[in-house]
Amino acid sequence: MKSQYQVVVIGGGIVGCSVAYHLALRGLTNVAVIERKELTAGSTWHAAGGFHAINSDFDVAALQKYTISLYPQVEEESGQSIGLKMSGGLELAGTPERAQWLKSELAWLRAMGTDAHLLSPQEAVEMVPIIDPTGLTGALFDPHEGNLDPNGATHAYAGAAKRRGVEVILRNRVISLSRLPSGEWSVETEKGTITAEHIVNAAGLWARRVGNMVGVDHPLVPMPHHYLITEAIPEVAAIDGLMAAVTDLEGFTYLQREGDGVLLGLYEQNPRHWAVEGAPWDFGMTLFPEEIDRIMPELSIGFERFPVLQNVGIKRWVNGAFTFTPDGNPLIGPVEGIPNYWAACGCMSGFSQCAGIGLALANWIVDGDPGLNAFGMDVARFGPYASDDRYLRDTTAQFYARRFVMAYPNEDLPAGRPLKTTPCYDDLAAAGARFGVNWGLEVPLYFAPNAEFEENDTLGRSNAEPLVAEEAGAVRTAAGGYEIAQYARYEVSGAGAEAWLDHLVASHIPEVGRIRLAPMLGDAGRLMGDLSVARLEDQRFWLTGSYYLQTWHQRWFRQQLPDSGVALRNITDDWMGFSLSGPASRTILERLAHVDVSDEALPFLAVRMLDVGTARAVVGRISLTGELGYEIVVPTNQHRTLMQQLRESGQESGLRLVGDRAIDSLRLEKAYGIWNAEFTQAYTPGMCGLDRFVAFDKDEFIGREAALRERKEGAAQRLVLLEVDAGDADASADDGIWIGDRRVGFVTSGAYGHHVKKSLALAYVDRDVIESAVDLDVYIVGEARTARILPAAPYDPTSSKLRG
């Protein structure tokens, strides 16, 4: 062990070893992996070693695909066998809807370039003869699944890293971490104290404890998980070569060949947690006794699906722990306020994700940017609320129990709710609001007519759609009130505020009393935000952005903030309000405001402090619906009063409360993008059309060079609005767009435009296709639907109403 390293990776599991290897690939070799015991001594040694590319986040799925593709290289480079078996994998459907769902998964896999295909239950049995097909409705085969030897794979990563100069130091626990005046880390270990420029927390089951060493409480928790390995099964022994792995989606089990027997693992509906604060430091390479009673319901279903298991001996039980986060994806990246500390933990699918984590993190450490959209794994996608013990237990248990359970796009899951509510929550609920959740906050999706109304879970349009249509109709013909507590707000002030914002965002900075849409770029020219900047005073600004990006945005802001002259305050919880839009909105506001709000006094994109009802409000003339509209924001303790006064004032003008779903329908009629769909870290201004807000004539702003380059070369794909010949389902994010066998794009969001009576989708499509204007196929729930690119928004293309 040396006395100083550029990077110390804490933990020699599959993730830590992959991070070290990827750092070495990027040319960093003054790197040490420090491991408490032996390599694999956490969750890794007892894993089943299975892998697959499927993930609900498309970018994470691409990283899983990368992980699978890298194994042969690591095996070859290290000379260490990893026991790779590319057996392919079968997913079994047990209901007609699940068979339909598999069709969407097939379309999705095809979009990723995977040659998967659907099978009949009988064809599945031909592949894996121990399946009992009773009740099966279909199957999907993905050739890019398989399994490997977890021990071999970890040693291969460590060996390949060592060959490139990385040190692997075993039997040496990191005891504490502290910051030196030089900014380096002092790393106290059992074998002595060393210094490191960067530390990576890849401590798996102990990651929460290691995080605590630097004052971070990571939202992850260990949970036990069972599998069993059988004695030889004649039907399996008779298969010459590999046998496809099987996931019985309705049966909660997965199965893979293990010698001449099988390994059967299960995700039980009644999971439990263990060592919530992190495994004890003296926890060895230990398994828990099997808890047959607890897992019996799922085990019985497994024994029915694979009846030979009823008559074969069980050679070994494994009940070991691994970590879960609220959404099941890992926690990687830098943590705001703790420079050069990097998370690489919370990974429940190490053999599908280790290389993706390693690649993104190594890029991040070397370049200051993951080089790809890693938000689905970014530690900054959660706020402090996620580490609350009860929240963490509820959400991780929900994720575990639903690992194979079918997810419907319109479903809202109950775990950890309600957590955050606005002062209007009870009133909104009394008005019929049915809530979704955004970063822990309850947000109205639509308003039901009575308490008895129940929305059906469906892959198509739900029975709530007529309610959404009424809300959207009210906005087009009268007025809608939409709660905007789910917008994040930051106040930027101080003598250097304007100059700093001018550097931070790509647009010009507005005059006092004006609002400007301001794309914010990273160095590589990809989006960091689609902010609106409102100038309230000469050196006092409000930035409005996405609610769920608060941790992520503040990490970025603080990275850029000068030492003095600029004050940044997150005021999201202090100010809330309503977006009032529709032709009657001016009349409604006039009744409450005690001043002129005509177009002359409050024109489009103006912002004023006004008395609205009894509140001193910040009123911005801006709307997402394409109608005349205002965002009215008041101190949080007056938010409820504002809602009551708006409703009173709006009653005779037909004001209706509206939710997220109506806003989606309305914004698609105007081809307006939003963050998390059309605008994300993956896209550039030229792709998404925000380039029209980029001030290319400014001398300097973050990402300027990349933006100029893109302007010159043109983006390869651009955002377009599609009209889709849909059936009873609209397009949704990641649905592939094809011309014959060529994938030419993908959908970012879809909805039914209730006013224009069209199924609409925003989508990224290859440039040459946009120019050729041919008909396209969009795969919606696995079925091809014809779509056409619309040359203009179908509702008020000249925006006369918005400006009216």
Strand runs (DSSP E) across 538-585, as ranges?
540-546, 567-570, 575-581
The nearest distance, CB 270 to ligand FAD, in angstroms, is 17
State the Cα angle at 532 between 531 and 538, rounded to 5°: 120
For the segment 1-30, give every residue that binds ligand FAD (CB under 6 A). 10-16
Task: Tell me which residues in 351-390 interact with ligand FAD (CB under 6 A).
Answer: 351-352
Residue 165 CB contacts under 8 Å (≥ 6 apart), including other chains: 24, 29, 30, 31
Residue 762 in the binding site for ligand FAD (CB under 6 A): no
Euclidean distance between CA atoms 10 and 310, whole angstroms = 43
DSSP 692: G
Nearest CA-CA partner of 507 in 535, 488, 528, 533? 533
Closer residue to ligand FAD (CB): 168 or 666: 168
H or E element at residue 294: helix 292-305
Q: How far is the CB of 562 from ligand FAD (least distance, A)?
A: 36
Q: Which is nearer to ligand FAD, 275 or 429 (CB)?
A: 275
Contacting residue, 20, 32, 42, 419, with ligand FAD by CB under 6 A: 42
148 binds ligand FAD (CB under 6 A): no
- Tell me which amino acid residue 116 is: A
Residue 322 in the binding site for ligand FAD (CB under 6 A) = yes
Tell me the three state secondary structure of residue 87.
coil
Among all chains, which residue has been given the structure tokens 């529709």?
582
**String of contacts with ligand FAD for each residue 60-79, x by CB under 6 A:** --------------------
| Number of Cβ within a 10 Å radius of residue 79 | 10
CB of 7 to ligand FAD, least distance (A): 14
Min dist CB 139 to ligand FAD, Å, is: 20
What is the full DSSP assignment across 746-767? Answer: EEEEEEEETTTTEEEEEEEEEH
Q: Does 334 bind ligand FAD (CB under 6 A)?
A: no
Q: Minimum Å distance from CB 13 to ligand FAD?
A: 2
Q: Under DSSP, is residue 155 helix (H, G, I), strand (E, B) or coil? A: helix
Tokens linked to 370: 């993951």
Least Cβ distance, residue 271 to ligand FAD (angstroms): 12
- Of 190, 424, 387, 198, nearest in space to 276 by CA: 387
Among 20, 23, 46, 94, binds ligand FAD (CB under 6 A): 46
Q: How far is the CB of 582 from ligand FAD (least distance, A)?
A: 50
Is 744 near ligand FAD (CB under 6 A)?
Answer: no
Residue from 48, 295, 419, 497 in contact with ligand FAD (CB under 6 A) = 48
| Residue among 348 and 584 whose Cβ is closer to ligand FAD | 348
- Residue nearer to ligand FAD on the CB measure, 47 or 443: 47
Long-range contacts of residues 739-746, Cβ cutoff 8 Å, at least 24 apart: 739/769, 739/774, 739/776, 739/777, 743/110, 743/111, 744/769, 744/776, 745/717, 745/769, 745/776, 746/58, 746/111
From 313-321, 400-408, 508-516, 640-648, span contacting ligand FAD (CB under 6 A): 313-321
Q: Which residues touch 367 (CB under 8 Å, ≥6 apart)?
A: none
DSSP string, 589-648: HHHHBSS--STTTS-TTBEEEEEETTEEEEEE---SSSSSEEEEEEEGGGHHHHHHHHHH
Number of H helices, E strands in the chain: 21, 37
Binder of ligand FAD out of 5, 8, 36, 396 (CB under 6 A): 36
- Closest separation in Å from C-beta 481 to ligand FAD: 46
| Cβ-based nearer residue to ligand FAD, 41 or 464 | 41
* Residue with Cβ nearer ligand FAD (12 or 261): 12
Output the smallest distance, CB 36 to ligand FAD, in A. 3
* CB-nearer residue toward ligand FAD: 201 or 645: 201
Question: Interaction with ligand FAD in 170-189: which residues (CB under 6 A)?
Answer: 173-174
Of 43 and 638, nearer to ligand FAD (C-beta) is 43
Pairing between β-strand 245-248 and β-strand 221-230 as defined by DSSP bridges: unpaired
Q: How far apart are CA 502 and CA 702, in angstroms?
A: 9
Q: 9, 28, 41, 793: which one contacts ligand FAD (CB under 6 A)?
A: 41
Strand 4-10 relative to strand 31-34, pairing:
parallel
Lookup: tokens for 642: 């504002």
49 part of the interface to ligand FAD, by CB under 6 A: yes
Q: Which helix (H) or strand (E) holds 305?
A: helix 292-305
Would you count residue 87 as binding ligand FAD (CB under 6 A)? no
Closer CB to ligand FAD, residue 13 or residue 750?
Answer: 13
The answer to whether 243 contacts ligand FAD (rule: CB under 6 A) is: no
The least distance separating ligand FAD from the CB of residue 112, rounded to whole angstroms, comes to: 18
| 48 versus 781: smaller Cβ distance to ligand FAD | 48
Indicate the residue among 254 and 541 with the shorter CB distance to ligand FAD. Answer: 254
Q: Which of 346, 217, 189, 347 is nearest to 277 (CA)?
A: 217
Structure token digits, residue 678: 């059309």
| Cβ pair 355, 22 in contact under 8 A | yes
Shortest separation between residue 225's beta carbon and ligand FAD, angstroms:
4
What is the separation of C-alpha 139 from the centre of its chain, rounded to a whole number of angstroms? 27
Tell me how far the alpha carbon of residue 454 is from its chain's centroid. Answer: 27
How many of the chain's residues bind ligand FAD (CB under 6 A)?
Answer: 41
CA angle 174, 178, 181 (to 5 degrees): 145
Q: Is 138 among the residues that bind ligand FAD (CB under 6 A)? A: no
Q: C-beta of 263: minimal distance to ligand FAD in Å?
A: 9
Sole binder of ligand FAD in the list 23, 32, 34, 54 (CB under 6 A): 34
Which one among 7, 44, 440, 465 touches ligand FAD, defined by CB under 6 A? 44
- From residue 325, give the alpha-carbon distance in Å to each of 54, 77, 287, 346, 388: 18, 33, 21, 6, 12
> Which range binds ligand FAD by CB under 6 A, 31-39, 77-85, 712-720, 730-738?
31-39
CB of 599 to ligand FAD, least distance (A): 58
Tokens of 233: 């099964």
**Residue 302 CA to its chain's centroid (Å):** 31
Binding letters toward ligand FAD, positions 197-236, x by CB under 6 A: -----xxxxx---x--------------x-x---------
Min separation Cβ 551 and ligand FAD, Å: 22
Q: How far is the CB of 188 from ligand FAD (least distance, A)?
A: 10
**Comparison of 289 and 740: residue with beta carbon closer to ligand FAD:** 289
Burial (CB count <10 Å: 0-12, 13-18, 19+), residue 759: buried
Shortest CB 258 distance to ligand FAD, Å: 11
Nearer to ligand FAD, 211 or 750 (CB): 211
Q: Can residue 294 be called a binding residue for ligand FAD (CB under 6 A)?
A: no
Segment interacting with ligand FAD, rule: CB under 6 A, options 292-300, 314-322, 494-502, 644-652: 314-322
The least CB distance from residue 169 to ligand FAD, in Å, is 9
Binding test (CB under 6 A) with ligand FAD, winner from 5, 21, 51, 490: 51
Q: Give every CB contact of residue 334 below 8 A, 6+ residues apart in sequence.
A: 340, 341, 342, 343, 364, 379, 555
Does position 47 interact with ligand FAD (CB under 6 A)? The reply is yes
Task: Establish if 765 lies at the interface with ligand FAD (CB under 6 A).
Answer: no
> How is residue 679 annotated by DSSP?
B
Name the residues that contact ligand FAD, by CB under 6 A. Answer: 10-16, 34-37, 41-44, 46-51, 173-174, 202-206, 210, 225, 227, 318, 320-322, 347-352
